[in-house]
Chains A and B, each alone.
Chain A
Amino acid sequence: MPIKRHRRKLASGEEKIYTYAVSADGSTRHSLSARDSSDSRQIYRASEFRRLVAALVANSSLLVVGEAGCGKTFLAQAVTAELITMNFPVAVTKPGTVKQILSEIAVQLGVDPENLEGKALSTMGLMKEIADWLLINTAFLICDNAHRFPVSLRCWLDQLHNQGQPILLLATYPPARDIFLKLPRIELEPMADKATRAIMLEAAAELNLELTPAQLSSLQQRVGGNPMLAKRVVREEYLGLDGQALDHTQWLDITPYIIAALMCLVLVRFIGLGFNNKSLYLLGGIITVSVAVIRLILYSLPRSKGRLGQ
């Protein structure tokens, strides 16, 4: 059953968002939720959001990094919307080839992508044209998924940065080089439990799925402060999937610490040696061998693979 949303302005001036489930032929619909429009774009990373807007307005560039799904695109959209409401021209990049990206920027900024003869500009021509335009106009560049940018585009951004152009780059763990290294950086931390829980509730309401706090609390284990995963685990629950996928990056393998703790027991051997206690010495020897065997086994277990489902 498809879900539809409407934004309505009430007579009181209040804006609300209504969510409906609509039948396939559109004849019946029933309401799922109605909430304040301000809630709908609730920015859980409010401090980062404010900082980004303030930095851009103060004519400085920023790089936002974080794991996939940690909310960078959402932040980029929020910042774009905010800058537009402040009446700044903003160009947002979309995934594509260098030429496509540059044409898109040119169109958004109102730079003519054609030369005087009416021929489309080459990549180099577009780069120069946009750079020249930005030199005399105030506008913001917001580049999402910047880790996928080819070197040529990064060099161009570097050049823009050098000419004082405010740029917002958002990237999933980019390499530590050129433009990524030059820009001041904000790392997005995992979201607070409260925020991920709210996102999960929202996702559940959209799917008309009722989840008990116990279910939510159990599902939240697999979220690790990642809002994309918060939505995904709810969707998995909705589809009745077992959900063994543990895709967040907030893991700490404590195997070495466990082995270190066990290794401390090897001290028994030296205590036995020091106190001339043969039994302790023998017992310590047995412990030493056991710990070595445990260590060998733990380290020879197959490693987890970086690919999904392996």
Chain B
Amino acid sequence: MMYKTHMALAVAATSLILGTADPMVLSLSAVCSQLPDVDTTKSFSGRILFPLSSYLEKRFAHRSITHSFLALSFFAVVIFPVTFFGYQYYLGMVSGYFWGFFGDVFTKSGVALFYPSKVRAICPANPRLRLSTGSSAEWFVLFILIIFAILSIQINSAGGIVRAFNQGLGLPSGAIETVNQDASRYLLTAHIKGRNAITQEPIEKAYEIVQPLNQNDLLVKDELGITYRVGNSQECQIVAVIMKIERVAPINTTVTNILLDDEELSEKIASLSQAESSDYQEDNVNSPQNWGARGAKTRTYLSGTLTIFDADDLIIPTHIDRYDTITLQPASDIAYARLIAASPGEVMRLLGDYYASGNLVVRIVEHRNF
């Protein structure tokens, strides 16, 4: 095989197996794929490492000792200190070396994979169907391998093969899995194709993702800040058929706790509410496309259960066409309010004047500029 074919095979296979697009890992594997051919002075690596190649070619047949699992294990042990710089580099190098000699299995004279045994491993058995170095068939294989390598790098730099598959199919369950993986690091939007569960109107629109609700459903909000439950379950406002997730911007998430012990909610929430409202004024055109382009913006979500005192006159309207982030369960004199990713503004408006006890988890999402 030509050195180019070895390189292409090593890069494609390493990127596919390790699921990486790291240029350093891939170039290390490309370099290491040349090392097995050090057993002949005619090769690229043989000319560089001349004393070694000259020593080897005087004693061993080509594609024997350096093209074996024995040499691979030796190589893996020798370069073990590379793990100090990163395990990925090490794996990339070992994988590069392996594919550097394994590719020769498809050539006419095969490879002595199990050296010191003389047995030469081949695939397929018919020598007429195997490659000869520099033949037009090898150029064709090289071409295919390059396409594979590019595809693999492309897919891996976009988050891996499973993610690419999910994106390609737009399967809601796959999208939720993608959200589970990315939600803590990126602000995400979901391009949803489906229908409104109540009006049966078709929907094709982008929503900002607030958080996953369970294995099947997502909590999203539109540009007006109205929240919806999207997915396939019965409680959903939007039934999704196709859902594709897009990363908008990297985010920093901070989580704090607010403990209330018969305290007025407005006192505790006011600061959060102000911070958010100022942000909202800043980007009044809240279309998802603009979210990433703006400066540092904050989203604050409150979740938890509160016991509200003197709640005789407290009424919180429920909506069928949207997801209520605050729900109330009245009892005598007191009421229990359940908050799921509620905005501070909403909490202030509905519960601000009441005294409450309980525990609130505050999730503050700040997205950084690119």
Contacts and interface: CB of A to CB of B under 8 A. Distances in A.
Interface of A: 190, 193-194, 196-197, 213-214, 216-218, 220-225, 244, 246, 250-255, 258, 276-280, 282-283, 298, 301-304
B51 interface: no
Contacts of A250: 118-120
A277 B58 contact: no
B62 A221 contact: yes
A303 to B, nearest CB: 6
B297 interface: no
A290 to B, nearest CB: 13
List the 5 closest A-B pairs by CB distance, nearest first: A220-B61, A279-B174, A304-B126, A217-B57, A221-B109
Interface string B158-192: 00011001100101011001000000000000000
B127 A283 contact: no
A217 B122 contact: no
Given A213-B41, A244-B108, A279-B171, A218 B62 contact: yes
A301 B119 CA distance: 22
B40 A218 contact: yes
B129 to A, nearest CB: 6
A278 B171 contact: yes
B54 interface: yes
Contacts of B121: 252-254
Contacts of B125: 251, 253, 255, 303-304
B250 interface: no
Contacts, number: 111
B276 to A, nearest CB: 35
A123 B39 CA distance: 58
B174 A253 contact: no
A190 B118 contact: yes
B68 interface: no
Given A251-B110, A278-B173, A279-B171, A298 B62 contact: no
Contacts of B229: none
Contacts of A190: 118
A223 B41 CA distance: 20
Among A224, A250, A254, A255, chain B packs the most CB atoms within 10 A around the CB of: A254
Given A217-B61, A244-B127, A303-B125, 13 more contacts: A196-B61, A217-B40, A221-B61, A221-B63, A225-B118, A246-B127, A251-B125, A252-B119, A276-B215, A277-B177, A278-B174, A279-B162, A279-B166
A279 B173 contact: yes
B237 interface: no
A42 to B, nearest CB: 18
A218 B42 CA distance: 10
Interface in B11-65: 39-42, 54, 56-64
Nearest to B125: A253
B192 to A, nearest CB: 17
A153 B96 CA distance: 58
Contacts of B122: 251-254
A301 B106 CA distance: 14
Interface string B125-142: 111110010000000000
A265 to B, nearest CB: 11
A207 to B, nearest CB: 20
Interface in B312-353: none
6 contacts: A197-B59, A217-B56, A220-B62, A246-B108, A254-B113, A304-B125
Contacts of B2: none
B72 interface: no
Contacts of B81: none
A298 B125 CA distance: 10
Nearest to B43: A214
Contacts of A225: 118
A183 to B, nearest CB: 26
Given A218-B40, A279-B165, A282-B165, A301 B173 contact: no
A73 B110 CA distance: 29
A117 to B, nearest CB: 58
B130 to A, nearest CB: 9
B184 to A, nearest CB: 20
A301 B108 contact: no
B225 interface: no
Contacts of B361: none
B123 A253 contact: yes
B124 interface: yes
A185 B41 CA distance: 42
A253 B125 CA distance: 6
A283 B165 contact: yes
A249 to B, nearest CB: 10
Nearest to B132: A244
Contacts of A220: 60-62
B105 interface: yes
A38 B129 CA distance: 45
Given A221-B62, A222-B109, A301 B41 contact: no
A292 B345 CA distance: 58
Contacts of A218: 40, 42, 62
Contacts of A194: 59
B124 A298 contact: yes
